[in-house]
């Protein structure tokens, strides 16, 4: 007599997510040409090379759905400020030490640095106007739109 084996639905769902999960990480994230990319090896040198009062750092991951919603806002910001506010993109998979240094534990996270030191942070996706308002409320409109 054969015994029927029942697999709980949650196990099937978890297996499906694990199986399709890696396909998300293969989707490239396209950034505006004015955005610098950095990893653990290059972050400090990129920061030093910019030598600017204000710098925005965008922590993201290619497998992160909210990051994919946030990337267009970061691109718009880079395009709208014409380099007045430098943006550094940091992929969490390539820069775990940098993320740990700044206490990044959610994606996406944006950091606003002043003279290389953490001034403020925001975790979660923001549409372009809200992102610009968030930054302007901290550093002033004239700073990013000279």
Determine the topology of domain 29-144 in CATH. Answer: Glutaredoxin (3.40.30)
Q: Please give the sequence-ordered ranges of beta strands (E in DSSP) within 39-123, or none if there are none.
A: 54-60, 87-91, 109-114, 117-123
Contact 60, 92 (CB under 8 A): yes
Answer whether residue 102 shows pLDDT above 90. Answer: yes
Q: How confident is the model at residue 16 (pLDDT cuts 50, 70, 90)?
A: very low
Q: What whole-number distance in Å separates Cα of residue 35 and Cα of residue 86?
A: 7
Q: What percent of the chain has pLDDT over 90?
A: 65
Q: How confident is the model at residue 62 (pLDDT cuts 50, 70, 90)?
A: very high
As to burial, measured by CB atoms within 10 angstroms (0-12 exposed, 13-18 middle, 19+ buried), residue 135 is buried
pLDDT, residue 22, reads 36
Q: Which residues are catalytic?
A: 64, 67
Answer whether residue 90 shows pLDDT above 80. Answer: yes
Q: What whole-number distance in Å separates Cα of residue 14 and Cα of residue 11?
A: 5
**What residue spans define the domains of the chain?**
29-144
- Residue 74 phi/psi, 5-degree rounding, is -65, -40
State the average pLDDT over residues 116-139: 94
Answer whether residue 64 shows pLDDT above 90. Answer: yes
Q: How confident is the model at residue 34 (pLDDT cuts 50, 70, 90)?
A: confident
Question: Per the confidence metrics, is the pTM higher than 0.75?
Answer: yes
**117-123 vs 54-60, strand pairing mode:** unpaired
Q: How confident is the model at residue 81 (pLDDT cuts 50, 70, 90)?
A: confident
pLDDT, residue 5, reads 55
State the average pLDDT over residues 62-90: 92
Site of tokens 């750092």:
57
């Amino acid at each position: 007599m054969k015994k029927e084996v029942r697999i709980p639905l949650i196990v099937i769902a978890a297996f499906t997510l694990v199986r399709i999960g890696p396909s998300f990480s293969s989707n490239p994230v396209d950034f505006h040409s004015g955005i610098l990319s950095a990893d653990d090896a290059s972050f400090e040198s990129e920061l030093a090379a910019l030598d600017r009062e204000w710098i925005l750092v965008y922590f993201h991951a290619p497998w992160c759905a909210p990051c994919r919603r946030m990337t267009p806002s970061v691109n718009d910001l880079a395009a709208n400020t014409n380099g007045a506010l430098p943006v550094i993109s940091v992929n969490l998979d390539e820069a775990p030490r940098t993320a740990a240094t700044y206490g990044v534990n959610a994606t996406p996270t944006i950091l606003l640095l002043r003279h290389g030191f953490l001034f403020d942070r925001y975790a979660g996706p923001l549409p372009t106007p809200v992102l610009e308002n968030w930054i302007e409320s901290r550093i002033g409109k004239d700073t990013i739109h000279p």
